[in-house]
Structure 1
Amino acid sequence: MTQVNQDEFFGRMSDPTSASRIQGPCGDDMEFYLSLENHIIADVMYFTETGCEHTRIAGRAVSRKIKGRNLIEALAVSPAEILYEEKQLLRSGSHCAILAVTTMYRAIVDYLLKYHQ
């Protein structure tokens, strides 16, 4: 499995531009924090209190994919793409990829609703 103990993206961001939190049907929670500069994701962090190792792997994979990307590129990231890259999620963690991507999407929506009315 992917190493999650040395995860640079894991934690809570103190002053994010946008944030979101979702609890999945399995009970795992996921939070995403984005710091944007000129519509570019300059920094990203995710956090989970109740999430399993698969949830953390998915959160890290999504974070790695979107850091440095613009919003359109981030919105193009799909659960299928995360599952393809993190094959250990295919068996029992596919819902974790969906949870991570959906939480990231919601953080982008939070940004758009705050700053683009």
Structure 2
Amino acid sequence: MTKPLDVVLAYHQAWTTQDFDRAMTYLAADLVCHAPAGRLEGAEAFRAFMEPFSRILISSRIIGAFGDETAAMLIYDTSTHPVADAPGAEFHTVRDGKIAELRIIFDRLPFEQARAVHSDRQ
């Protein structure tokens, strides 16, 4: 049996290297995601939310990773094209070897500010 932390680390490695097809293999079809923008239901809805972020990612570095028999948590730093320092945290509930529920915490304000600056330049 694969430990939840192993599943989560493999998922993180996949999306942070822009291999979202592989990242999807770690997600349950009925995944529920709680993100700053609201609740997402289903793996495809999650993909529509997260894959665009993976495309603007420059790098990611895990700060901490912890898990038990049902869940895992990651804290990481990311650097993206619009925002140089974008830390995040994720809490994953894993069932039957797949991520079934995911809570993502990050600060949306720097991304909104970057969008506003970009809009002003056009």
Task: State if a TM-score over 0.5 links the two structures.
Answer: no
The TM-score with structure 2 as length reference comes to 0.32
Relative to total residues, which structure has the larger helix share, 1 or 2? 1
